[in-house]
Chain A
Amino acid sequence: MTDKTNIDVDVDQKAKDAYFTASQGQLIWTRFKKQKAAMVGAWVLVILILSGFFAPFLTPYDPTIDGRDKEYENGAPQIPSFCDDNGCSFRPFIYTYERERSIKTNFRWATVIDTDKRRYLVFFTQGDEYKILGVKFSTHLFGVDSGKVHLFGTDSTGKDILSRTFHAINTSMAVGTIGVFIAFVLALMIGGLSGYHGGWVDSLIQMVTDAVRTVPAIPLFMALAAFIPSVWSAEARFLFISIILGFIGWPTLARRVRTHLLTERNQEYVLAAKLCGASGGHIIRRHLLPSFTSYIIVDLVISFPYMVLSETALSFIGLGLKDPVNSLGVMLQNVTKADVLLNYQWYFIPVIFFIVLVMAFVFVGDGLRDAADPYSSTKK
């Protein structure tokens, strides 16, 4: 009996010890795990990011013009089935299609589907070459035994929309990451300077930041993006757009950094460090920043969807990324045409992925914010 209570006390004590010695990151993680919506969001996010990363393997074709299917332009999504009028099969199949121009089609190119010839789905098939982390592969998760398969249809040049969508996730994430990083560095420098010094430096920087915040960023950067020479390579554009996104995003982050610093700078450990003769930069880097790293990470996650949204918006109006880079905004460039609206609605499939991606980020960001707020549990 006494043994058991001892063990209980021990366990209790251990849990307490664990709680009191836990780092901020561990505490946030414990609270985060309790939130269902945020956890679901996190899983979806991980799956999407991974599928973006392994896009070349998961999707059957090259997303650029090299992987186009000349036989199937503006083609509707093909849904693999197991049965049709000619009987059933254990392997899912799609039908063969051919481009034809004859008197029947009024001498225009038209795609004709031949329901007698089946194309069977095959897995781990060889196809276009691609690189992941510099290593060449040519195995794709699925394909068909002859010809090509387009689960989400194709666009006007015959590029596979499924392949493009998955690659686009990757690009959008990369642009967002670089943008967030740039915004973060700017915010740290400006917010750090402002918050650490306080006083008139702070007032001055805040005044300038507020002035910058009143300028509507998208129209301004539209104006700037218009001056990107059209001869720039896709990579240069990519970098430029990321930098622009970083410049759009920094003021909010800078304000948060400043607030954190303002509350921390009067703590005794800062005074102690100062008395030891540490320089301002050293104190900010070694003492102040680590005290709120976790909060900064939360802020970064929250600002991420805005980056992705801005990129999409800029690319959508043709000022951001362009072919052959695939981003979600690039994929939406053509959808406002009446032709697409009326006849090719599968152009909208990437939108679903986009919404899921942003939603997942928002859920995770919200969950993280609640988890990082030390008062969130006492409030309820």
Chain B
Amino acid sequence: MYQFVRFAAVRASLAIFTLVLVSFIVFSLMELVPGDCAERYLAFKNSQGAQISIADIEAERVRLGLDKPYIQRWGTWIINAFQGEFGDSCILRLNISQLLGQKIWLSVGICLASLLVAYMIAVPVGIIAATSRNPYLNNGLRLVSYLGLALPNFLLALMIMLFSTVMFGDSLTGLFSKEYRDADWSYDRVMDFLSHVWLPVFILGWSATAFAIQTVRALMSDEISKLYVTAAAARGVSGSRLLLRYPARHALSPIINSLGFDLNRIFNELPIVALILTLTEAGSLLIESLARSNDQQLAGAIIFFLTGSIVAINFITDILLAVIDPRIRHSIMG
């Protein structure tokens, strides 16, 4: 038990170290961007008719603490960030945690759901593909996984929209119907949400599924020819019992390990898919702040949050793997 706690502690400190490093990268990149928050805010005031002088900008810089040295500001930022406090947005002048609040959780939730769906499909299909000798099935799956790469999610989303507009006259966009958009959560709203959310989940999970099938299949076919499987078969274990109890357990642990990077890939596709499907609740804030409005404070917060959830997943999978995989458990227990 002691070793396990130590292992968890080492992993946790590594995760925090990664986060700090990432925050430094993100913070520096946001600093490199020309202009700062004070200028943006006063430029906005200027457009409202107020007279602005250089002295005003300087005063605003002092107020926001932008005159302090770089490292010190980064320090404050990261300490606040770990407490979930990202300050005010440069353009909207609103508290960022309030602004993001539900929306970012919704986005992360959709991404996690598509990851889940991807693996729920990929694991059984991959195992079947590895064991089956049916050439049509194998070639078909190969084609699907190639398409998963060549038809990126945003093109798939476009295709589906094109198809549904031509066929049904409905473009299937948004996360809520009009009447539920600003309503409070209720049973009907949840149902409405579920009736809309399957499409983004499917589209985001599409290439993840294709990749995952490929990986599961490769890992499975490596394991399946090993001696311990033959030995188990010789002892009379057969069918799905043989597959699931012997090779599948070995094949699946590297997959658990790569979940974090799969989530990363889905995050990469989220803003674009969100833009196409006009997921105003989940994606538009991302796009707006990242792309349109030059809001470095908000953009930094969002990227930090996304990275944070990837690091969290990596940490959880590490721990999970140590719990369920006896090989790793033994290696850390010494």
Contacts and interface: CB of A to CB of B under 8 A. Distances in A.
Interface of A: 207-208, 210-220, 222-227, 305, 309, 312-313, 316-319, 332, 335-336, 338, 341-342, 345, 348, 351, 354-355, 358-359, 362-363
A211 B171 contact: no
Main secondary structure on chain A at its contact with chain B? helix
A224 B29 contact: yes
Complex A-B, nearest 4 residue pairs according to Cβ-Cβ distance, in ascending order: A216-B267, A218-B268, A223-B299, A358-B150
Nearest to A215: B307
B319 interface: no
A225 B29 CA distance: 11
Contacts of A207: 17-18, 21
Contact of A219 (B22, B151, B268): B268
Counting chain B CB atoms within 10 Å of each CB, which of A219, A312, A332 scores highest? A219
A319 B291 CA distance: 7
Given A214-B264, A348-B158, A227 B294 contact: yes
Main secondary structure on chain B at its contact with chain A? helix
A355 B29 CA distance: 33
A316 B156 CA distance: 14
A225 B146 CA distance: 29
A76 B62 CA distance: 59
Contacts of B260: 214
A218 B26 contact: no
Interface stretch (B113-121, B186-194, B269-277): B269-277
Interface string B281-302: 0000011001111101001101
A351 B155 contact: yes
B154 A316 contact: yes
A219 B306 contact: yes
Contacts of B302: 219
B272 A316 contact: yes
A348 B171 CA distance: 16
Contacts of B150: 305, 355, 358-359, 362
A215 B25 contact: yes
Interface in B5-32: 17-18, 21-22, 25-26, 29-30
Given A217-B268, A218-B272, A313 B25 contact: no
Interface of B: 17-18, 21-22, 25-26, 29-30, 33-34, 146-147, 149-152, 154-155, 158-159, 161-162, 165-166, 171, 260-261, 264, 267-272, 275-276, 286-287, 290-294, 296, 299-300, 302-303, 306-307, 310-311, 314
Given A218-B272, A219-B290, A317-B272, 7 more contacts: A211-B22, A215-B25, A216-B303, A223-B30, A305-B149, A317-B291, A362-B146
Contacts of B29: 220, 223-224
Nearest to B151: A355
Counting chain B CB atoms within 10 Å of each CB, which of A220, A342, A358, A359 scores highest? A220
B294 A226 contact: yes
Contacts of A316: 154, 272
Contact of B18 (A211, A217, A313): A211
29 contacts: A208-B21, A210-B18, A211-B18, A214-B307, A214-B314, A215-B25, A215-B307, A216-B264, A216-B267, A216-B303, A216-B307, A217-B268, A219-B267, A219-B270, A220-B29, A220-B303, A222-B287, A223-B300, A227-B294, A313-B272, A317-B287, A317-B291, A341-B166, A348-B158, A348-B159, A355-B151, A355-B155, A362-B149, A362-B150
Contacts of A224: 29, 33
A102 B319 CA distance: 74
Contact of A220 (B26, B149, B159, B314): B26
A56 to B, nearest CB: 27
A23 B116 CA distance: 46
Contacts of A358: 149-150
Contacts of B22: 211-212, 214-215
Contact of A218 (B165, B269, B294, B311): B269
Counting chain B CB atoms within 10 Å of each CB, which of A208, A222, A319 scores highest? A222
A217 B310 CA distance: 12
B303 A223 contact: yes
